[in-house]
Amino acid sequence: MTSALVRAFRLLFWIRSPVLIMVGSLVACKEATRPPTVEVEITFASNGVLYVTDTSGSPPQRVVPQDESSYEPTWSPDGRYVAFTRQTQTSPSSWDYQVTVLDTETGVETPLSVGPRDNFSPAWSPNGQQIAFLSRSKDSTNGATIRIIQSNGTGTRELGTAHYYVRAPRWAPDGTRLAVTDSAVEVAIVDANTGALVKVLSPGFSPAWSPDGSTIAFVCSGQSAAAICLIDVDGQNQRVISDSSDYQPAWSPDGTYLAVESWQVRSS
């Protein structure tokens, strides 16, 4: 079983190329950076299939066997369970999206959410006891609300009434706050118990909290279609660390590297 430290670096990449960039150096981000000396695993989704690979370059392996309808994985802190969005076609022109949990030791899948609403973009809390996710009615044009459920599938509650852009929330390392993308496509921080707005940080989306809790990485505007920015949690010291059409940042456990999805193919 892979350690929880390694599993914490797993992330969704869709069908683009996973790339590692070193935090703190824009120049280094223009080329593929040297992989961490400690082997780190990265999870990504391609055409509805969840794969896991690592920084040694080993061939990707399926996470969910014989499945082509899974997206947006998030791992439990102990590395045993993975929650993800399951897509199901309900008619020739309709789809249903629900959060499912897979026990990777037993292979047992458990639906965590049910319709009629679409429920998606899960994020596991640092203590492993809760999962936050986005929820919206199928005819919604106002974004999605955040719901939180116990990881055993009980006690679902809506986190306030605010609506959010469809990017997954991310927990602060201490579990007291969530980094979100609000309906104005701004990165913001909300209280994880009440949903109350703590602070709007900057225009952008797809926030990711650093392991030490001091910094948030997110997708911002750059000279290319998208850049990766860092900002302190008090809203100060925003800086661009990659301007190469990169998306979906996720931190390495030691905070040294960010994994991103990229439209560019880079060679070392």
Task: Name residue 265's amino acid.
Answer: V
Tokens representing 31 are 């080329």
pLDDT band at 18 (very low <50, low <70, confident <90, very high): very low
Which backbone phi and psi does 29 adopt, to 5 degrees?
A: -80, -10
Tokens representing 115 are 């319709």
Beta-sheet strand order (sheet of 49-54): 41-46, 49-54, 61-62
- What is the rounded CA–CA span in Å between residue 68 and residue 249? 24
Q: Is the pLDDT reported for residue 16 higher than 50? A: no
Dihedral (C-alpha) 191, 129, 259, 244: value to the nearest 10 degrees?
A: -30
Tell me: the pLDDT tens digits for 42-86?
777 777 778 787 777 778 888 887 677 888 889 999 989 999 999
Q: Is the pLDDT reported for residue 225 higher than 80? A: no
Tell me: the pLDDT tens digits for 237-263?
999 988 777 888 988 888 888 888 876
Tokens representing 87 are 């897509």
Domain ranges in the chain are: 4-262
CATH topology for 4-262 is Neuraminidase (2.120.10)
Tokens representing 13 are 């990449």
Q: Using DSSP, state whether 5 is helix, strand or coil.
A: helix
pLDDT at 39: 66
Mean pLDDT, residues 105-119 taken together: 91
Tokens representing 62 are 């399926």
Under DSSP, the state recorded for 182 is: B
pLDDT band at 223 (very low <50, low <70, confident <90, very high): low
Nearest to 101 by CA among 75, 69, 133: 75
pLDDT at 103: 93
Q: Which of 6-10, 22-26, 90-94 has the lowest mean pLDDT?
A: 6-10
pLDDT at 242: 80
Q: Is the pLDDT reported for residue 192 higher than 90? A: yes
Mean pLDDT, residues 211-220 taken together: 95
Q: Is the pLDDT reported for residue 175 higher than 60? A: yes
- What is the rounded CA–CA span in Å between residue 59 and residue 62? 10
Nearest to 181 by CA among 248, 101, 82, 115: 248
Query: How much of the chain is in helix, strand and coil states, percent to nearest 5?
Result: 5, 50, 50
> Which are the contacts of 251, defined by CB distance < 8 A and separation ≥ 6?
9, 208, 209, 210, 211, 217, 257, 258
